[in-house]
Amino acid sequence: MQNINEIEDLIKLISKLPGLGPKSAKRIVLKLINNRDELIKPIANILVQVYKNISRCKICGTLKLNSIECSYNNCKVVEKKYDKICVVENISDQWSIESSSIYKGYFHILGGTISSVGQSKEDLLVNSLVKRANNEEIQEVILATSATVEGQTTAYYIQESLKNCNVKVTKLAQGLPIGGEIESLDDGTLFSAFKNRSKLNSNSD
């Protein structure tokens, strides 16, 4: 292969994406280069737009347009009021839970786990979760972190952070396969994990 810095840099960047190694990154880059107008140009444009206009809400962690206030089923609910907050690691977990229609309530997206690379406790939006949990409408906080060591450590840390809040704190049932990430669970497993969630504290019934 010729040494063209731009192409090598692009391959390196693309191979950092989930599920892609250097081999698939090379195939993707070749596909892009062979489709300059159909792929490179629109992708470059949309990436700039996404970078400029979309960010995570600093309160609930969901993705939102910078130009509007967060009004998704997270921070503020337009039509319905809920009394539960479901805490997940990533937005993909929220999408899985939503598409299974098992849960109706607010979401809180931590943005990772305590021991994920580069994540510190301060990055995880725990302080804003405590504030949200203190809202009088909220009766229950459901911890829906993965059944991994990191996920469970994070759940414990959140449980501790919520101990002075007058809310019931629950955790998804043990039925989660060990190492199971929420986003990869099927609807049936999610359903029983929600249905059989266990209470972690003695605050508020």
Binding site for Zn ion (CB under 5 A): 57, 59-60, 70, 74-75
- Residue 3: count of CB within 10 angstroms of its CB: 6
Q: For residues 74 and 113, which CB has a smaller minimum distance to Zn ion in the complex?
A: 74
Q: For residues 64 and 197, which CB has a smaller minimum distance to Zn ion in the complex?
A: 64
Contact indicator for 103, 140 with CB cutoff of 8 Å:
no
Q: For residues 70 and 91, which CB has a smaller minimum distance to Zn ion in the complex?
A: 70
CA distance 167 to 82: 14
Three-class SS string for 99-148? HHCCCCCEEEECCCCCCCCCCCHHHHCHHHHHHHHCCCCCCEEEECCCCC
The sheet carrying 84-88 orders its strands as 106-109, 84-88, 140-143, 168-171, 198-199
Give the distance between the most distant pair of CA atoms in the chain: 67
Q: For residues 11 and 124, which CB has a smaller minimum distance to Zn ion in the complex?
A: 124
Q: Closest distance between Zn ion and the C-beta of residue 183, in Å?
A: 20
Q: Closest distance between Zn ion and the C-beta of residue 54, in Å?
A: 13
Q: Closest distance between Zn ion and the C-beta of residue 81, in Å?
A: 16
CA distance 134 to 114: 22
Contact indicator for 109, 60 with CB cutoff of 8 Å:
yes
Short-list 114, 191, 185, 186, CA closest to 155? 114
Q: Closest distance between Zn ion and the C-beta of residue 192, in Å?
A: 29
Q: For residues 68 and 117, which CB has a smaller minimum distance to Zn ion in the complex?
A: 68
The first and second tokens of residue 78, run together, are 């337009």
Q: For residues 26 and 132, which CB has a smaller minimum distance to Zn ion in the complex?
A: 132
Q: Closest distance between Zn ion and the C-beta of residue 128, in Å?
A: 9
Q: Closest distance between Zn ion and the C-beta of residue 132, in Å?
A: 9
